[in-house]
Amino acid sequence: MKHDAIRKSFERFLRTRDLKLTPQRSRIFERAFSTHEHFSAETLYDWLRKEDGPKVSRATVYRTLGLLLEGGFIQSLDVGRGELVYEHVTGHEHHDHMVCLACGKIEEFHDERIEALQAEACAKKGFVVVSHAHRLVGYCRGCARKARIEDAAEKRSASDAAAE
């Protein structure tokens, strides 16, 4: 779906709630849809504060993100750091996430085998899926490698101390 069509769809969604696409909501929409990064509400607020345009309050950022979520234009992801991160999903293929507990890196992935297994499990139970979010939490390659090196160093230090 093209950007202009998504924007018009958001405007229609706002009208169903007797709301308008204000300059502030427009800035938030445009900034959220201009990035391919996962972003928190606070990150989005900081981006908007540093850029030219109509002033946007923190409360307006949070409320507008809520509207974008409610309308299905963005999705939230709990990455285990005490705040949600968001990404725009309208016009994008479904994907799942791997979240690194150490550095916070988020890797997107898609695996047809996982999708097929989920569909099979739902079919067996007669469950009709509307949407789903699959999140794997662990350590990225770099952090896992670093942890193994640190573990090895700690073990050497412990065995050196025991030998003394």
Joined tokens for residue 74: 């963005």
**Closest CA relative to residue 88, chosen from 144, 33, 131:** 33
Tell me the per-residue pLDDT of 122-158, one tens digit each, with 9 for 90 and over: 999 999 988 888 888 889 999 998 888 777 667 666 6
Instruction: Count CB-CB contacts under 10 A for residue 15.
Output: 11
Rounded to an integer, what distance in angstroms lies between the CA atom of residue 65 and that of residue 44?
10
Assess contact for 30 and 64: CB atoms under 8 A: no
Joined tokens for residue 76: 């939230």
Rounded to an integer, what distance in angstroms lies between the CA atom of residue 136 and that of residue 106?
10
Domains delineated in the chain: 1-92 (1.10.10.10), 94-164 (3.30.1490.190)
Tell me the per-residue pLDDT of 46-68, one tens digit each, with 9 for 90 and over: 999 999 999 999 999 999 999 99
